[in-house]
Amino acid sequence: MSRGVLSSPPVRRVTASDVAQAAGVSQSTVSRSFSDDPRISPTTRAHVHAVATRMGYTPNALARSLITNRSGMVAVIATQQSILAMPQMLTAISQALGRRDQRMLLFMPSDESDVQNAVNEAWSFPLEGAISCVTLTTSHLDGFRQNRIPVVLYNRRASGLADSACTCHHAAAADVAQRLWHSGHRRFLCLAGPEDAPVGRERALGFAGQVRSLGGAAPQMVETDFSYDGGHRAVTHALQSGPRPDAVFCVNDQLAMGACDALRYGLNLSVPRDVSVVGFDDIPEAARPAYQLTTLRQDLTSLAQRATALLEARRADPEGQIQELDLQAVLVQRQTARF
């Protein structure tokens, strides 16, 4: 805490030139002292650092980036909804970026239709890359390419048009369908999420496809949102107006928890004796004693590490082959499904 600075505050930030003048060296020397250039003598470096500390100087990372072309910033694009539903996504990405000394510039479109504004704004920053947790159109991807910003999709696909790291939603859901089938379930209800949500759709289609290919009757598909309440409502309505299913597959855990509560407390059924319920994601709440949800776990941390690695690789080789990484989801067997 330097009284001097506090009592007579300069109007602008302290710059390398200010430090140079105060230290009696050139601005180049100040710069080199801070980039740990080995040619600067230890004495000079120490002196410069001492003066800099006294003056409260920190190099401006973005003035630096003009020349080095490394800003240390990566855009992350995720809808508000998805962040509220799965904040683990953000913490995982932040940690993965941190290991590479990168920082997250967060763009939060209100929904998938608001993505255009977000990407337009993102393009104006000198980014080292962008991680998109929302689906991008060809024109979005093209804009990133024109602006020389590598993009990787997080838990989405772009059909060969961009790098991506993605859980095998389709395969995992199909696997669950198969297991349920083999343990005797025949009447399936699927809470499919919103129609325009690609991840939920993948999961629902993987499930339904497998059931049909096993010769079963097509599952009853119900469009929902992604919330606990949505799951509660959908199950309540479906069972009041139709035959009782013996298994409910939910494209996420919130829906599944709502489904369990509706079945147990609303409809007085036993889970899993009367009805099996399976979720997707394995959010922390799924493990609570009150639910003990059987669900598919996706590894958000690995996904994040892969995504940042893909960004790095793309920077190194802008013209290289596009990579689409698959991560398997693993079935976490708890108490809500008879297998």
List of residues contacting DNA (CB under 7 A): 12-13, 15-17, 25-29, 31-32, 34-35, 37, 39-41, 43-45, 57-60, 63-64, 66-68
Roughly what angle, to the nearest 10 degrees, separates helices 42-55 and 16-23? 120
1/67 with CB nearer DNA: 67
Are the C-beta atoms of 285 and 307 separated by less than 8 Å?
no
284/318 with CB nearer DNA: 318
The binding track of 109-128 with respect to a second copy, each residue x by CB under 8 A or -, is -----------xx-xxxx--
- Based on the shown chain and the rule CB under 8 A, indicate whether residue 234 belongs to the binding site for a second copy: no
Least distance in Å: CB of 246 to a second copy? 24
The two tokens of residue 279 are 């979720």
Beta bridge partners of 76: 106, 131
CA distance 176 to 181: 8
Residues 283-322 that bind a second copy (CB under 8 A): 284-285, 288-290, 318-319
Identify the residue among 21, 56, 292, 313 touching a second copy (CB under 8 A). Answer: 56
111 binds, among a second copy, DNA, none (CB under 5 to 8 A by kind): none
CA distance 50 to 24: 13
Least distance in Å: CB of 44 to DNA? 3
Give the DSSP H or E segment for 164: strand 163-167
CA angle 29, 33, 39 (to 5 degrees): 80
Tell me if the bond preceding 289 is cis, omega within 30° of 0.
Answer: no
Least distance in Å: CB of 213 to a second copy? 37
Least distance in Å: CB of 319 to DNA? 20
